[in-house]
Amino acid sequence: MSGLTIGKIILEEVDSTNSYAKKNIGKISDRTAVIAKCQTSGRGRLNRSWVDLGDGNLFLSIVLKPSNSYHDIYSNLTQYLSVVLCKVLEEYGLQPQIKWPNDVLINNKKIAGILAETVMNANCLKGVILGIGVNLNSNQEDINNIPNKIATALNIEINKHVNIEEFTDKLLDKFFENYDEFINTGFSNIKDDYIKRNCFLNNEIKVQVFNRTEEGLAQEINDNGELILRNKNNQNVTLMIGDIL
C-alpha cells in the first residue's frame, strides 16, 4: 500500500454514497471511503439505477482529491477500478472479465457497477467521487429480477457467504496500492492488465453512444483507454464513451 491512512465513513442508510459524497465534498478528506449498509437510490452510468439487493452487498464511494485542477486521466479511474476489482475477484478463484469501458463480468454476468463523478467549483477541482456497487451476497431470485441485465453475485459464484468487511478492505488496499503510480502515468499503467481481461476485442459489436449506435470490429484499446472500432466503411472510429450492447 501507499502507507497513507484510508478514512472511512460508515452510513446505516443513504440515498446513494455518491450523492452523499457530492453534498459533503468540502468536509470529506482525500482518500476517504464512504460506505453504506443500505442504499435506496443507487445510480449507475448514464443515469441508470443500480438495484439494491439488500444487506451484505457493497455500496462504496471513494473520495479522491488528487489536485486542484481536472486532468483527463481522471476519466480513466473507472477503468483502473475495474482492473482492481478483477484482481480481488481472482483471489476468490474466479476469472472475471471486463466489458468496455468498466463493466466487470463473471461468466458473462454483471457483478458490479462503477460510476465516477467530478465536482468542480468554477475551474477548481473539489474532488473526484468514484462509486462502486458489488453484488456480494444475494439469492438467485433477486438476481433474476434485476431489469435489463444478466447479473450474478459473488456468493452465488463461489457457493458461500462473503464477508463484506474483508472484501471491502481487500478492494481498498488493492486500489491504493498502485493509485499514485496510476495518477502519475495514466491508462498506459494498466493497459496490459485491462486488455488481458477483456471480453470484447476482435469481435463484431454494437456500441450505444448517447442517441446513436456505432457498429464494427472492436480493434483495440488505445493508450487513453478509448475503444477503436473498424466500421463497415473500413474506417476507424474512436469512442470515448458508450455501452457495448
pLDDT band at 53 (very low <50, low <70, confident <90, very high): low
CA distance 2 to 5: 9
> What is the residue-averaged pLDDT of the chain?
91
The mean pLDDT value for 6-18 works out to: 91
The SS3 of residue 19 is helix
The reported pLDDT for the residue numbered 3 is 42
Instruction: Report strand pairing: 124-134 vs 58-64.
Output: antiparallel
The pLDDT, as a whole number, for residue 110 is 94
Whole-prediction pTM value? 0.92
- Write the pLDDT tens digit of every residue in 92-124: 999 999 999 999 999 999 999 999 999 999 999
Res. 35: pLDDT tops 50: yes
**Coil, strand or helix at 241:** coil
DSSP letters spanning 155-171: HHHHTS---HHHHHHHH
